[in-house]
Amino acid sequence: MSPSQTVTAGERLWSAVDHERPLQIAGAVNAMSALIAEQAGFRALYLSGSGVASASHGLPDLGVTTLHDVLEDARRITSATELPLLVDADTGWGDSRMIGRATRELIRSGAAGLHLEDQIAEKRCGHRPGKRLVSAIEMQDRLKAALDSRTDDRFAIMARTDAVDVEGVDAAIDRAARYVETGAEMIFAEAVASLDDYKRFTAAFGVPVLANITEFGKTPLFTVEQLSSAGVRLVLYPLTAFRAMNAAARNAYETLRRDGTQAELIAAMQTREELYDVLDYHAQEPD
């Protein structure tokens, strides 16, 4: 295949959205978890800003990580798998010039798309109280900066609105409609609490709507079937595996410290051969 015929990461994401309805997107905090998600059959991956902060830097999700931090994790994932990667770009890391740079750099990293949100720069987790929003006009400017800076027009630009929890569902839908008018190609409706509200979002405009099914938040753990019936086109599980990994690691450390042996843990571990299978180790091992 010639360079001009190469399928871009953005095209792979759009193809996945077309072929799986709704598209399940697995959160991956590193290359290994990305490979395991691929082996499990997922067609798309997600890099969470919260995941970058907590998994890679031991920091809370309060807008303290940088574009460089996100790019580093994104490159590690896209180097390991061709599954399309949607990246959390938070509020864009700065003004329109910085958002433009972030868009170009994420495309170069191999990412398939990004989402920008309408919180102020000093953001909070989307399921925490006390969120504050920028004006719809300022958010539209963020989106324009990303759209105008794309070097691949199939790189997806998604708009996330946190207005449901701050201004109410009607205002959130109004905001999302303005973001779509600006050119946003997908909508991420954060902290939606009912299927009826998802139906209102999906009926309001003709672009795919994403449901963020994160644990311990304000959105119930709706099933794929329920969300499909509400017209949702993308279902995101941003940190499910990461939380399970952390709980398993804590149990392993506590057991080792208490018992002085890992014998009790063996049955729950990934075996050496299972690891080698994920990595295709034997095919690459020198003779």
User: pTM of the prediction?
Assistant: 0.95
> Catalytic annotation on 196?
no
Q: Is 90 a catalytic residue?
A: yes
Which pLDDT score, from 0 to 100, does residue 120 have? 85
Determine whether 61 is an active site residue.
yes
Q: Tell me the pLDDT band of 2, cut-offs 50, 70 and 90.
A: very low
Q: Is 152 noted as a catalytic residue in this protein?
A: no
46 is catalytic: yes
- Spatial neighbors of 247 by CB under 8 A, at least 6 apart, are none
Give CA–CA dist 156/147, Å, rounded.
9
Catalytic residue, chosen from 38, 75, 76, 117, is: 117
Question: Which residue among 38, 165, 185, 190 is the active-site one?
Answer: 190
- 181 assigned to active site: no
Q: Is 153 among the residues known to form the active site?
A: no
Q: Which is it for the CA torsion 126, 128, 132, 136, positive or negative?
A: positive
Query: Which pLDDT score is estimated for 127?
Result: 80
What is the per-residue pLDDT across 229-266, written as a single tens digit (0 to 9) for each?
Answer: 999 999 999 999 999 999 999 999 999 999 999 999 99
Q: Which of 12, 38, 43, 61 is catalytic?
A: 61
pLDDT range class, residue 5, cuts 50, 70, 90: low
Q: Tell whether the model's pLDDT for residue 284 goes beyond 90.
A: no
Identify the structural domains of the chain with CATH numbers, from first to last: 9-238 (3.20.20.60), 242-286 (no CATH)
Tell me whether the omega of the peptide bond preceding residue 22 falls within 30 degrees of 0, making it cis: yes
Q: CA 60, 28, 20, 12 torsion: positive or negative? A: positive
Catalytic residue among 125, 154, 198, 237: 125
Q: Please confirm, yes or no, whether 88 is among the known catalytic residues.
A: yes
pLDDT in tens, 119-176: 988 787 878 777 899 999 999 999 999 999 999 999 999 999 999 999 999 999 999 9
| Mean pLDDT value of segment 31-38 | 98
